[in-house]
Amino acid sequence: MTTGTTLTHWGAYEVDSDGNSITGVRPFAKDPDPSPIGDSLEAVTRSRVLRPAIRKSWLEGGPGTRGDLRGVEPFVEVSWETALDLAASELERVRTTHGNSAIFGGSYGWSSAGRFHHAQSQLHRFLAVIGGYTDKRDTYSHAAGEVITPYVVGYDYWDLQQAHTSVSVIAEHTDLVVSFGGIPLKNAQVQNGGMGRHTLRGRLQAARDRGTRFVNISPTRDDVAPELDAEWLAPRPGSDVAVMAAMIHTLVIDALVDEVFLETHCVGWAELRSYILGNADGTPKSADWAGELSGLDPDRIRSLARELTGCRSMLNISWSLQRSDHGEQTWWMLIALACVVGQIGLPGGGFGIGYGAVASVGNGAPRRSFPALGRPANLVDDFIPVSRIADMLLHPGTPFTYDGETRSYPFIDLVYWSGGNPFHHHQDLNRLATAWARPSTIIVNEPFWTSTAKRADIVFPATTPLERRDVGGSSREDFLFALEPVLEPVGESRDDYEIFSDLAVRLEVGGEFTEGRTSDEWVRHLYEGFESRYPDSPTYDEFLAAGFIQYPETPDTVKILFDAFRADPEVDPLPTPSGRIELFSDTIAGFGYADCPPHPTFLEPREWLGSADEYPLHLLSSQPSTRLHSQLDHGATSAARKIDGREVMRMHPDDAAARDLTDGDTVRVFNDRGLCFASIEVTDGIRAGVVDLPTGAWYDPVDPSAPGSPCRHGNPNVLTRDEGTSSLAQGPVAQSCLVEVEKAVAAPIPDPHASPDFIG
């Protein structure tokens, strides 16, 4: 029996193992609110890629052979030497024939919480060493927000997030928290790099115990925990910007605007005020106007706006709202509303972006430079906005706009993916399947037979964190963990580092990639570099013996966003062109984008209930509570939430009754883009006209050979639209999606996590 510590993006756990399987899992003792997702760790030995595998037609006919059969035909298991030779030869062919820009380094996903065995870092280091690759910009989580934030406050969103007012400060000072999209604790289970302590629930409860009121403006009631007794206002999805604009309108009409703050700390108020009053378009952005768009009571919009100025108030917005048509406007208008209220920089006042989105937002931890694997500069200039993969593969050479530039999609002949699952998180999976057939070769490093692995040409079996030594932790928390292997590598799986090292040797850059170190030597090297920056840290051997480091809390854990800027904007200006918060951006005005005006604006979504016709229900695709996106979908926690093996979709009783549906029924969810099957839960905790189908069910079409075949498992991304938020950010618009639902036959489904067929 072996016991060791492992770290996941949803927390740390003590794991018991007999060497071949997990026999017990216990949450880290210092975690006050551990995630139940840890109960699924026993699944890490199932659905595994056991040996290197090559798609049959590719092996027989070579690169470019029958890409349309990806996901359809069987694989042939081969030796490591054969698979590595084929992959190295293909990488050499592509970079020699087309140049390195024809290689897409498609690692996107949370992969491992380890700092060395991090699949994306390993892949990008390898591809940089062999001459470069086409990369991506931003994240599916908040691409539109990432691009707009620097124009408004000057800071990169990641730096802004780190500076957020601590939730402990909110608990002590805030009287009213108004959150567009809620503060979902299920999302705060997770943190990139892992989390030793989950503190958000306790700190929010402390705020409620002191008397803080919470208002949840969201189509779903449980986006704020029930113990917080939040008032629930349920708008139509896509109308939040209109509601915020109407609150500003109320404050203008009632002369409750903080004119001093707007004068001293902002630019562009005159232009925004003119828009709010409707001077140019003849439409005042009043509460009556917003009530028509949102379905909310106009009187409550007005009274809530007044309440913001009558007490210490904090405005928050979820990441999900900017994953929609014109998503840039959501964050911008929230910041504008906070400026009009005028409490930015005060203890417990102002705004937050993403409280509850991940565990670290507002946790107050000082940012430390934790160990990380570096990589040489990427010599290829080409990139795409993160969610424009299908556009790139389908339309090489086509121009696209992004952040003030006009670029062209590169030609991609080879995709190398490691540490992610685009056939989970990308929109319009049927369109992606068509695009996925275009490259000559797709190579995947993957522990599990995911829907992406099943659609590759060469699949290398990779280990999981439970099978290797590493150091792990989030730079936004006060823990660093020593990860020890508790399982033998499953099948013939190897670490990503070993796979890339062997490929690098074949491509004559082995020394440059490895720098002469084994993986364990790299882990020690990274830790010792960290130790040199933080001399109060234990030695590496002491660290291994202890299992983790916890740094003591410091005064830096009490943070107030923009307090120094508020105190003196001349001494501590923001890094915007004006040094102020920009409610009107001359830079964005210069881009001339019709779909992204130079001040926050309500633009009607291209797909929403305000214009629903054939498809009368708005589909939300939320983060699940039982897994991290698609990770461990085959685990016990995820399986327990499903009905008849299908993902559960929530629906309002009125919508269910209109379709003669009851709890547990199997349904068809469909629109012009696709169809999936799901089971339903009838609940009054969701707005009528809205349904919520969480992401992460492994994509499993009934007939992979038939274009547009229904997903029998319940992946909502067969339904979502694959378009950009605007010409500025080109982010994903998953939350702008209309569907219809009808009853279906409840037939058993095959295991969606099963391995593909093999021959030979």
Contact 75, 49 (CB under 8 A): no
Name every residue whose Cβ is closer than 8 Å to that of residue 140 and which is 6 or more positions away in sequence. 108, 323, 386, 387, 425, 426, 731, 732
Residue 211 buriedness (CB in 10 A; 0-12 / 13-18 / 19+): exposed
Q: Are 363 and 167 in contact (CB under 8 A)?
A: yes
Q: How far apart are CA 602 and CA 290, in angstroms?
A: 10
- Report how far residue 2's alpha carbon sits from residue 345's, in angstroms, rounded to the nearest whole number: 50
What residue type is 246 in one-letter code?
A: A
Q: Is 395 helix (H, G, I), strand (E, B) or coil?
A: coil
Determine which one of 10, 13, 58, 108 is catalytic.
Answer: 108
Cβ(458)–Cβ(87) below 8 Å: yes
Choose, from 10, 13, 110, 409, the residue flagged as catalytic. Answer: 110
632 DSSP 8-state letter = T
Give the closest residue to 147 by CA, choosing from 328, 10, 19, 16.
328
Q: Is 593 a catalytic residue?
A: no
DSSP structure class, residue 223: G
What does the alpha-carbon distance between residue 226 and residue 503 come to, in Å, rounded to a whole number?
Answer: 52
Radius of gyration, CA atoms only, the chain: 26
Distance CA 579, CA 572 (A): 9
Q: Which of 484, 451, 367, 375 is nearest to 122 (CA)?
A: 375
Spatial distance between the Cα atoms of 579 and 569, rounded to a whole number of angstroms: 7
How far is the C-alpha of 384 from the C-alpha of 361, rounded, in Å?
27
Pairing assessment for the beta strands 675-682 and 135-137 based on DSSP bridges: unpaired
Which DSSP letter does residue 321 get? G
- φ/ψ of 320, rounded to 5, equals -60, -30
Element (H, E) at 529: helix 519-533
Q: What are phi and psi of 500, to 5 degrees?
A: -70, -30
Is residue 350 within 8 A of residue 337, CB to CB? The reply is: no
Give the start-end residues of each E strand in 69-157: 75-77, 103-105, 135-137
Burial class (CB in 10 A: 0-12, 13-18, 19+), 399: exposed
| CA quadruple 443, 447, 448, 453: dihedral, nearest 10 | 0
Number of alpha carbons in the 13 Å side-chain half-sphere of residue 693:
32
C-alpha 453: how far from chain center: 20
- Catalytic, 108? Answer yes
Closest CA to 695 of 631, 747, 602, 758: 631
Q: For residue 213, what are its two tokens?
A: 């009121």
Phi and psi for 590 in degrees, rounded to 5?
-65, -20
Q: What angle do CA 53, 58, 64 make, to 5 degrees?
A: 135
| Angstrom distance (rounded) from CA 752 to CA 201 | 34
User: Three-class SS string for 573-617?
Assistant: CCCCCCCCEECCCHHHHHHCCCCCCCCCCCCCCCCCHHHCCCCCE
User: Of 25, 1, 6, which is closest to residue 467 (Cα–Cα)?
Assistant: 6
Closest CA to 121 of 113, 511, 461: 113
Residues in the chain: 760
Residue 376: half-sphere exposure toward Cβ, Cα within 13 Å: 16
Q: What sections of 346-495 are H helices per DSSP?
A: 389-394, 422-425, 429-436
**Looking at the annotation, which residues are catalytic?**
108, 110
